[in-house]
Structure formats: structure tokens, C-alpha cells
């Protein structure tokens, strides 16, 4: 018989995924006695989908997590296998750092981070919350243990009544090989919280030795001495090779001929899936004119025998998956070690939580991660940090703190989720921010320092390191302000599109001595380069807020507004918002779309006058 857990904890975190870990660490950093409950301590922070951290906007979010005192960035650096900087064809403001990770090392490192933070780990399944909605008092575990707490964070990911689908098979689980939190979801519904169903999916894994790499394209990796965390001393090293292949006409034909066997197309899955990470069935059906879809072959660990097929998410029956995989170039003799599947899960409806991520009908219950309607490890980790800090601040009777959308991607995401909601799993993009030229990965620590200080999540070691960097930033900026070249100020030269930070170093004769100085110099240059754009973005934001009641009735067909996304056009034509504020409330309409609408209306007004 298990012993009873009798000690009362201040903050109880339910779930050991990326959101749960950051929530627990943030709570502990604020000084609260914190417990994390998970069905499997061994699988804490297990990457259920692709083994990677970062990407466009997501990588910047990881650096914000580091600036806020979180642990994801340091763990990503320590366990990295390969590094790539995405989106480099565009300006550095929207570059997306991304690393492949060793999944076993990642889990081990995250467990150590929890131990170092003093978080108490309990293995078990929460089946019920005890107490009225207004103030939860304890949680009940499936083995009968009752654990009392002052505040609670639910971070159950895809486990909340998770149902797995493959072909005609359906079985309960949060991911392959794990259980589903069915009883907890029932308790949430019985408490009359409003919820909905989303779905996501994962790709098959194959044995590395069964693949003929001579048919594959080696994926380019970058050696830029990059690190996610300012605490990491050296840049990420490339320790593994990733590969690229493409689907063929045969691959797509197999899928088209087997669609009736897909749970997505047979009607058994009702949850809405992610638009920007679609299943392969959706790719073939929605884009029939396309062929040669890229499939990235990614190792699950250093010298791992298993490779992940990123881009081939599917819930087709096993025999169809065999045919699909073996139709790929280089995969004629491929052996599948684990088949893909879809997972359908419960998450909270828009309006149920506020900007501290507290459920509105409660005093002490917070939510984080995929149950907010998000997708991705990075979004989960960031919301986990905020929810954990908010719960701890509630216990300690400190004032509520919320992030600002103009100074962080965390603020963008929270504002989007709370004020606009989402009809599908929310994925962070740089285009969701009206201030994206300021929300860069290089200056994340400077942007979020005030928030980190106010939240109380930044340890003294990181605070001291930040103060040193800030002192150096001001020193470099002063040097640049004092320099002139051929009668022009260095500040003006920085603003030229063709000028890079490295060019400026040469011009002023200042060579960085270490990684810190190199990053700080780059930030000074990019801050100067984008200063005019940032000022205009802030002005547009104020204008849009002021003119929220401007009528959109003059726009008869949004297909005529070529500067907005296809997704926004579809949603606007369908919903027909009356004012700009109404358009802002539509999940599919991003900040860049709103700016484009304002400019479109202004241009039409000018053309009529002339």
C-alpha cells in the first residue's frame, strides 16, 4: 500500500510535460513548496512528437523563457544534436533558431532541473479535484491518496480524456503507451467548465539501419555559435546528421486510395486539428496539385537506432503506413519501429481563463499548455512558466502580473488566447505580432527583464548576469553614438539594409572578445537598424486601438484585399465583421492582417478624395 502524502503543499502542478516542468520550477523559484504529480516520472518532458525545440517565433519564445528564468533553453542547449537557423532568407528580426534534441537526455536533464529547484515529484494519476469551484482544496489520486494545496496548475497536455486513433482502432491514452486522464476530464465537465475537443498527430518512426541514405539529401546544419540560454558558455555543436526526402506520386496515390480507412475522413475524429501542422492525409486532400512534400528524417538521440519522419503525421492503418513509408526514396526496405497515430483531447474554451491563466470562476486554479488550446512544446513551456508564477503569487498574496503583447511573444500568445480565442490548435508565428521587428531572439532578455523582475522568477545568478550584459550594451551603444564615418553617424549607417552587425564591428574597429559581447553588439546594431520600424509599429498599434470602431462595410469582398492572408480572407468573408474591433476578435485574423486592413481602408479613402 502506498504511503499517504499528508504534508500540505502551497502549489500543486498536475502534469509533467513541458508546461508542468516550467510551472513547477517558476513556483519553486518564488519560494513556494511545490509538488508535481505525473503518471510517469521517467517520462517527464518526453517529446511525444518531433524531437526538436525552436523554430520561427518558437525559438524566440524559448529565449524569452530563458530571460524569464525558465529551464527549457538551458536543457535544449545541453541536449542539442543539430542546430539550424530558419528563415535566414529574410531579415534577422524573423530568424528562427531550432535544435534537434536527444529525447532521453532531454528527459533526464529536465528531471534534474526539477530536483535542483526543490520540486517534490509524485508518481500518480489525478482523478478528481476536491472542494468547490471557487476554491479548490486538494486533489485525489487513483490510488486513494489525497494531496492538499493552496493553488493548483493543470498542465495535462493531450492526456485530458485523450483518445488515440489509428485506422479503425481507437483506445484511451495521452500518447502511445500511456494512460488517459478520463476521470479528471469528467470532473472538469461536471464542474461546468466549458471545454472543447482538439486533435493532433504524430509520424511513424523507422529503424535507422533500414534506410538507404544514398537516396536522401543531407540537411544543411549551421555553425553560428548559437545558444538558447545566456547561461550556456559555448554555442551548440552539431553532433548528428538530419536528412531530407520527398514524397512521390505513388505516395500520394496510396493515401488518396485509402482515405476511407483514415479516422480523420471516416468521421470518427471530431476534434479540430492544427492548420499549420496538418496530417499527411490533409496535405494530399487539400493540396491535390502538389507533389514532392518534404519529409525530414530526424534522429531521436545521439547514435539512436530510431529516426522520426517529420512531415508524415498520419493515423492510417498500420498496413497503409507500411506502403506509404516504403514508397519514399531510400525507404524501400524501411522497418517501422512505431506507427503514427492521432490523439484527440479536451481543452478549455475561450473565455474560461484570464491573462494570468487562472480559470475565471475560481480563486486558485490555473491552466497551462495544450489545454489552453495551444500546440507545441515551446508554447506549452512559456504558458507553464506564467501559470506557475501566477499560482505562486496568488499563494504569497502578491499582485497579479500579466505580459504585454508589444514586448514579448508570450504577451502576444496570452492576449490572443484570452481576447480572441482559437478555433484550432494555436501555433505562434512572427506575423501574429504587430511589433515583430522588436520581438527578436537576440534581444529577448532585454525585452522581458522587467516582466521577469515583476514576476519574481529570475534567480539572483541570472539577474547579476543580465545587469552585466546591460552595462556592456550601454557601453557599446555609447561608442557607436560617438563614431562618425565619412561624415555620417554610425547610427545612420546601421539603418542601411545591406549593413550587417559584422560590418559595423569592422567600421568601428571593435571586435567582440566572447559570445556575450558578440550577441550584445549584434543587439545594439539591430536595435538601431529597426528603430524606425519599431516606432511606426507602436504608432500603428495605438492608431488601431483608437480607431477600433471604424466600419468595414465598404469592403464587399475580402478577396480584393491582397495584402492579408488567405486564412484571414476566408474568415472575414464568412464572418463579415462590422468594425475593425470585430475583425480583431476573429482567431484567423492576425495582427499583420489588421494593419493591412487599416492601410487598405486609408488607401481607398485617399483614392476617393483624389
User: What would the DSSP string read from start to end of 502-563?
Assistant: HHHHHHHT----SHHHHHHHHHHHHHHHHHHHHHHHHHHHHHHHHTTT-B-TT-S-GGG-TT
Rounded to two decimals, the pTM is: 0.91
Rounded distance, CA 155 to CA 181, Å? 11
Rounded distance, CA 101 to CA 299, Å? 8
Integer Rg of the chain from CA: 25
Give the side-chain half-sphere CA count within 13 A for 158.
28
CATH architecture for residues 205-342: Beta Barrel (2.40)
Asked if the 547-609 domain carries CATH number 1.10.150.570, the reply is yes
Residues 37, 382: contact at Cβ < 8 Å? no
The per-residue pLDDT for 575 is 87
The per-residue pLDDT for 607 is 52
Distances (CA, A) of 367 to 213, 242, 381: 44, 35, 12
Which grid coordinates belong to 174?
Answer: 495521452
Residues 408, 447: contact at Cβ < 8 Å? yes
Q: What is the SS3 assignment for 571?
A: helix
Residue 32's contacts (CB-CB under 8 Å, 6 or more residues apart) are 9, 10, 11, 391, 392, 395, 396
In the block, cell 532568407 appears at: 89
Domains 9-199+345-432 and 205-342 share a fold: no
**Residue 235's beta-bridge partner residues?**
none
Of 474, 462, 355, nearest to 411 by C-alpha is 355
Of 509, 514, 581, nearest to 550 by C-alpha is 581
The per-residue pLDDT for 202 is 96
Instruction: Specify the CATH number for 461-536; select among 2.60.40, 1.10.287, 1.10.10, 1.10.3470.
Output: 1.10.10
Of 424, 458, 535, 454, nearest to 66 by C-alpha is 458
Rounded distance, CA 561 to CA 568, Å? 10
Rounded distance, CA 365 to CA 131, Å? 11
Q: Residue 399's Cα: distance from chain center in Å?
A: 27
Task: Spell out the CATH class of 9-199+345-432.
Answer: alpha beta
Domain locations in the chain?
Answer: 9-199+345-432, 205-342, 461-536, 547-609
Which grid coordinates belong to 5?
Answer: 502524502
What residues of the chain score a pLDDT lower than 50? 1-3, 5, 610
DSSP 419-432: II--SS-B---GGG
The per-residue pLDDT for 588 is 85
The per-residue pLDDT for 270 is 85
User: Cα angle at 40 between 229 and 395, to 5 degrees?
Assistant: 65
Cβ count near 426 (within 10 Å): 26
The per-residue pLDDT for 2 is 45
Residues 3, 142: contact at Cβ < 8 Å? no
Of 127, 14, 99, nearest to 369 by C-alpha is 14
Rounded distance, CA 125 to CA 183, Å? 9
Residues 273, 279: contact at Cβ < 8 Å? yes
Amino acid at each position: 500500500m502506498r504511503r499517504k502524502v499528508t504534508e500540505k503543499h502551497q502549489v500543486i502542478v498536475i502534469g509533467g510535460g513541458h508546461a508542468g516542468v516550467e510551472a513547477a520550477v517558476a513556483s519553486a523559484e518564488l519560494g513556494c513548496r511545490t509538488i508535481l504529480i505525473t503518471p510517469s516520472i521517467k517520462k517527464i518532458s518526453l517529446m511525444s512528437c518531433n524531437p526538436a525545440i525552436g523554430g520561427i517565433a518558437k525559438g524566440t519564445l524559448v529565449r524569452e523563457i530563458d530571460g524569464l528564468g525558465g529551464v527549457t533553453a538551458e536543457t535544449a542547449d545541453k541536449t542539442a544534436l543539430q542546430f539550424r537557423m530558419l528563415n535566414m532568407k529574410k531579415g534577422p528580426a524573423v530568424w528562427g533558431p531550432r535544435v534537434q534534441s536527444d529525447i532521453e537526455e532531454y528527459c533526464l536533464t529536465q528531471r534534474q532541473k526539477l530536483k535542483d529547484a526543490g520540486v517534490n515529484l509524485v508518481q500518480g494519476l489525478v482523478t478528481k479535484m476536491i472542494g468547490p469551484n471557487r476554491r479548490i482544496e486538494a486533489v485525489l489520486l487513483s490510488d486513494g491518496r489525497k494531496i492538499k494545496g493552496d493553488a493548483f496548475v493543470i498542465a495535462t497536455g493531450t492526456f485530458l480524456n485523450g483518445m488515440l486513433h489509428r485506422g479503425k482502432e481507437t483506445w484511451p491514452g495521452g500518447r502511445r503507451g500511456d494512460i488517459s486522464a478520463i476521470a479528471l476530464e469528467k470532473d472538469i465537465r461536471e464542474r461546468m467548465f466549458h471545454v472543447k475537443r482538439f486533435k493532433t498527430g504524430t509520424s511513424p518512426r523507422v529503424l535507422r539501419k533500414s534506410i538507404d541514405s544514398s537516396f536522401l539529401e543531407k540537411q544543411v546544419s549551421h555553425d553560428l555559435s548559437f545558444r538558447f540560454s545566456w547561461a550556456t558558455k559555448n554555442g551548440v555543436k552539431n553532433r548528428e546528421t538530419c536528412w531530407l526526402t520527398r514524397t512521390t506520386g505513388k505516395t500520394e496515390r496510396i493515401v488518396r486510395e485509402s482515405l476511407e480507412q483514415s479516422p480523420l475522413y471516416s468521421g470518427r475524429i471530431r476534434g479540430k486539428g492544427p492548420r499549420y501542422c496538418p496530417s499527411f492525409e490533409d496535405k494530399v486532400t487539400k493540396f491535390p496539385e502538389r507533389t514532392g512534400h518534404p519529409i525530414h528524417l530526424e534522429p531521436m538521440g545521439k547514435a539512436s537506432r530510431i529516426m522520426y519522419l517529420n512531415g508524415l503525421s498520419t493515423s492510417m492503418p498500420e498496413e497503409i503506413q507500411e506502403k506509404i513509408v516504403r514508397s519514399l526514396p531510400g525507404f524501400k526496405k524501411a522497418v517501422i519501429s512505431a506507427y503514427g497515430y492521432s490523439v484527440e483531447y479536451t481543452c478549455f474554451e475561450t473565455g474560461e481563463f484570464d491573462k494570468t491563466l487562472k480559470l475565471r470562476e475560481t480563486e486558485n486554479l490555473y491552466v497551462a499548455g495544450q489545454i489552453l488550446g495551444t500546440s507545441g512544446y515551446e508554447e506549452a513551456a512559456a504558458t507553464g512558466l506564467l501559470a506557475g508564477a501566477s499560482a505562486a503569487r496568488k499563494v504569497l498574496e502578491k499582485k497579479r502580473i500579466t505580459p504585454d503583447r508589444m514586448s514579448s511573444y508570450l504577451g502576444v500568445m496570452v492576449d490572443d488566447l484570452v481576447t480572441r480565442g482559437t478555433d484550432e490548435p494555436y501555433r505562434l508565428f512572427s506575423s501574429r505580432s504587430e511589433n515583430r521587428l522588436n520581438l527578436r531572439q537576440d534581444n529577448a532578455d532585454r525585452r522581458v527583464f522587467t516582466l521577469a523582475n515583476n514576476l519574481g522568477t529570475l534567480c539572483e545568478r541570472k539577474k547579476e548576469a543580465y545587469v552585466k550584459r546591460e552595462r556592456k550594451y550601454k557601453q557599446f551603444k555609447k561608442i557607436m553614438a560617438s563614431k562618425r564615418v565619412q561624415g555620417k553617424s554610425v547610427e545612420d549607417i546601421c539603418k542601411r539594409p545591406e549593413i550587417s552587425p559584422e560590418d559595423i564591428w569592422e567600421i568601428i574597429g571593435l571586435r567582440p572578445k566572447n559570445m556575450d559581447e558578440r550577441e550584445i553588439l549584434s543587439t545594439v546594431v539591430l536595435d538601431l537598424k529597426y528603430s524606425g520600424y519599431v516606432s511606426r509599429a507602436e504608432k500603428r498599434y495605438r492608431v488601431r486601438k483608437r480607431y477600433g470602431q471604424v466600419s468595414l462595410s465598404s469592403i464587399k469582398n475580402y478577396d480584393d484585399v491582397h495584402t492579408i492572408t488567405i486564412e484571414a480572407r476566408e474568415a472575414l468573408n464568412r464572418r463579415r465583421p462590422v468594425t475593425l474591433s470585430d475583425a480583431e476578435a476573429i482567431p484567423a485574423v492576425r495582427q499583420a492582417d489588421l494593419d493591412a486592413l487599416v492601410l487598405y481602408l486609408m488607401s481607398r479613402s485617399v483614392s476617393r478624395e483624389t
